[in-house]
């Protein structure tokens, strides 16, 4: 029975890892559809290479930093419990690699390729696992202190704060340090519209992410005996709430409509195992509205050229989700309980601080050493031609 249990757990978490790996194609197509045509190839190449660099950084450094486990023993040792620890690494790697995928959308169209790969290595190897270990592996005694002080630990079932808020707040300094795309804002202060290059590809990316998110959330149980239908239902309700509020608040704009479910799903990750479905609907709805309002403010009023709106979508909606878990997961709000407001608030604040400091260090040093963005001519020609020497749809010679 023990062998059957371990084998089933391996299959369970492996399927979850595969579903979250598939979400990275969603990141790619969401970015591809949102950027201009001259940057579509770059969007696709970045997501794949960022994932590969993330794997190296997390395998050799990050996973050990977060969990104190490495894979430098023989393969026979690694096979224990059907290789469960290996598949757990794969599953958690897909979470870690979401950080550079999130950042990629914010800095799209003007970032240099290799400095961003270097940033990916440093973020996934050191900054992300530092906070991951605190939140999910009792590192530095912070969770124990929260438990002793407030009666409950910080609760983040599937990463509203650990993954999404960290990713969004890491992206913000990178976006600010890079500056806006040339021509995005005129000297007179007017906004130059850069509409999405392909709504169908944008929608495809959003749908891939939405479907994969049920692996992201449900499989965060990590073992088959802890699987919960409540997580699936709460994910569904938050997705729907985010979509409908974004539809209304965004005045039927398809970009907002397709980011609405993502906002709701970002927010529900933390408390998806403890909220009532009606609470999840509300949390997702607030996230959908928050994204529309804050995306509009950052782009139009504050003139922060966050191309995909990753700071409002992941940074703010993730932080909201972390705090909301302490409210709507409580028994007073028909939740399961086992959560408290202050640990959620304090750890969300800590995540934001770690992300901002780490990002400023990484991107500040890289900008000083190598430079972060393409020059004006390269940006005008587009990241595809400047970096990859080909466009998404190269015109064929008539005599081909």
**pLDDT recorded at residue 396:** 58
Measured between alpha carbons, how far is 315 from 297 in angstroms, rounded to an integer? 15
Measured between alpha carbons, how far is 332 from 386 in angstroms, rounded to an integer? 57
**pLDDT recorded at residue 187:** 80
Q: What are residue 111's DSSP bridge partners?
A: 373
**pLDDT recorded at residue 127:** 98
**pLDDT recorded at residue 317:** 98
Measured between alpha carbons, how far is 129 from 138 in angstroms, rounded to an integer? 12
Check: pTM over 0.85? Answer yes or no.
yes
The tokens for 244 are: 């409908």
**pLDDT recorded at residue 191:** 86
- Can you list the residues of the chain whose pLDDT is less than 70? 396-400
**pLDDT recorded at residue 399:** 44
**pLDDT recorded at residue 400:** 41
Number of Cβ within 10 Å of residue 95's Cβ equals 23
Report the 3 state secondary structure along the chain.
CHHHHHHHHHHHHHHHHHHHHHHHHHHHHHHHHHCCHHHHHHHHHHHHHHHHHHHHHHHHHHHHHHHCCCCCCCHHHHCHHHHHHHHHHHHHHHHHCHHHHHHHHHCCCCECHHHHHHHHHHHHHHHHHHHHHHHHCCHHHHHHHHHHHHCCCCCCCCCHHHHHHHHHHHHHHHHHHHCCCCCCECCCCCECCCCCCCHHHHHHHHHHHHHHHHHHHHHHHCCHHHCCHHHHHHHHHHHHHHHHHHHHHCCCCHHHHHHHHHHHHHHHCCCCCCCCHHHHHHHHHHHHHHHHHHHHHHHHHCCCCCCCCHHHHHHHHHHHHHHHHHHHCCHHHCCCCCCCHHHHHHHHHHHHHHHHHHHHHHHHHHHHHCCCECCHHHHHHCHHHHHHCCCCCCCCCCCC
């Amino acid at each position: 029975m023990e062998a059957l249990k371990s084998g089933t757990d391996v299959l369970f978490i492996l399927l979850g890892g595969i579903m979250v790996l598939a979400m990275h194609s969603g990141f790619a197509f969401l970015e591809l559809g949102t950027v201009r045509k001259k940057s579509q190839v770059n969007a696709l190449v970045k997501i794949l290479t960022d994932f590969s660099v993330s794997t190296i950084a997390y395998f050799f450094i990050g996973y050990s930093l977060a969990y104190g486990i490495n894979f430098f023993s023989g393969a026979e040792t690694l096979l224990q419990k059907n290789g469960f620890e290996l598949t757990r690494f794969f599953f958690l790697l897909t979470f870690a690699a979401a950080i550079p995928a999130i950042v990629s959308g914010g800095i799209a169209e003007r970032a240099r390729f290799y400095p961003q790969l270097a940033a990916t290595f440093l973020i996934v190897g050191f900054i992300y696992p530092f906070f991951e270990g605190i939140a999910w592996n009792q590192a530095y005694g912070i969770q124990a202190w929260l438990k002793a002080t407030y009666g409950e630990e910080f609760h983040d079932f599937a990463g509203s704060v650990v993954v999404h808020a960290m990713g969004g707040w890491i992206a913000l300094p990178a976006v600010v340090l890079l500056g806006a795309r040339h021509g995005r804002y005129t000297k007179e202060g007017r906004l130059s519209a850069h509409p999405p290059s392909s709504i169908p590809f944008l929608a495809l990316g959003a749908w891939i992410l939405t479907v994969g998110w049920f692996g992201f959330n449900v499989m965060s149980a990590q073992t088959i005996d802890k699987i919960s239908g409540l997580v699936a239902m709460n994910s569904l309700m938050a997705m729907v709430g985010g979509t409908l509020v974004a539809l209304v608040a965004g005045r039927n704009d398809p970009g907002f409509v397709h980011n609405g479910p993502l906002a709701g799903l970002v927010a529900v990750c933390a408390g998806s195992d403890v909220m009532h479905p009606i609470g999840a609907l509300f949390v997702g709805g607030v996230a959908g509205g928050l994204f529309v309002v804050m995306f509009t403010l950052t782009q139009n009023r504050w003139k922060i050229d966050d191309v995909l709106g990753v700071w409002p979508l992941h940074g703010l909606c993730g932080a909201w989700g972390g705090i909301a878990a302490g409210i709507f997961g409580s028994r007073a709000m028909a939740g399961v309980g086992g959560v408290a407001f202050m640990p959620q608030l304090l750890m969300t604040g800590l995540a934001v601080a770690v992300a901002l400091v780490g990002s400023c260090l990484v991107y500040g040093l890289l900008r000083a050493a190598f430079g972060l963005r393409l020059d004006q001519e390269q940006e005008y020609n587009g990241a595809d031609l400047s970096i990859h020497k080909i466009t998404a749809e190269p015109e064929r010679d008539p005599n081909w």
